[in-house]
Amino acid sequence: MTAEVAADLVDPAVHEQVMAEAERIKALGEGAERYARDEVNQPTINNWLEAMGISNPRWKDGEAPPAMAQVWTMYGLGGKPPADDPLHGMMRALTDAGFTAVLGTNCEQEYRRTLKVGERVRVTTALESVVGPKATGMGVGYFVTSRNTWYVDHADGTAEVVATMLFRVLKFVPRSREAAS
């Protein structure tokens, strides 16, 4: 987007500040590395299967469904992301710039293999892109895309990527009710 178009949607100084912070965070690369609190385990798999209404017997004997990759590294109740988390850092910067509303837009996941009971996964997060400002039906904002990568570390010191996820949200200034009608 050219500076002229951006100026029509967002104060140019605000846009410059947002994009500078995005570049700073992107330059840090993968951050916020965290290990799962627990190893992959059958009781958690069983609870997830029950919650999701899945009865496939394949998952009853030591393998976790691929869609559970994120489960192992979630913060848990009351958990807080670390200060170096790229996604949360960018979201804070946008909030500070006046973009206070959030709308999830899409998530693209790739599962390279199932996880096995006893493995401990870790995840890293990187800021992939910040695009905007964009005028949407919800308001003017920025699309923020982060990339999570889940790894299993092996005894020989190598790390295997087992899943990835691109997660995109719109961080925006809500349109007023009058403007929406």
**Helix (H, G, I), strand (E, B), or coil: what is residue 38?**
coil
pLDDT in tens, 12-68: 999 999 999 999 999 988 877 899 999 999 999 999 999 999 999 999 999 999 999
Range of the domain at 156: 3-180
pLDDT in tens, 103-158: 988 999 999 999 999 999 999 999 999 999 999 988 999 999 999 999 999 999 99
Q: Which residues of 163-177 are buried (b: 16+ CB within 10 A; e: fewer)?
A: bbbebbbbbbbebee
Q: Is the peptide bond prior to 133 cis by the omega test (within 30 degrees of 0)?
A: yes
CATH of the domain at 55: 3.10.129.10
pLDDT band for 181, please (50, 70, 90 cuts): very low
- pTM here is 0.86
For the chain, what is the domain count? 1
Contacts with 2 (C-beta within 8 Å, 6 or more apart), sequence order: none
The predicted structure's pLDDT at residue 5: 52
- Give CA–CA dist 141/144, Å, rounded: 10
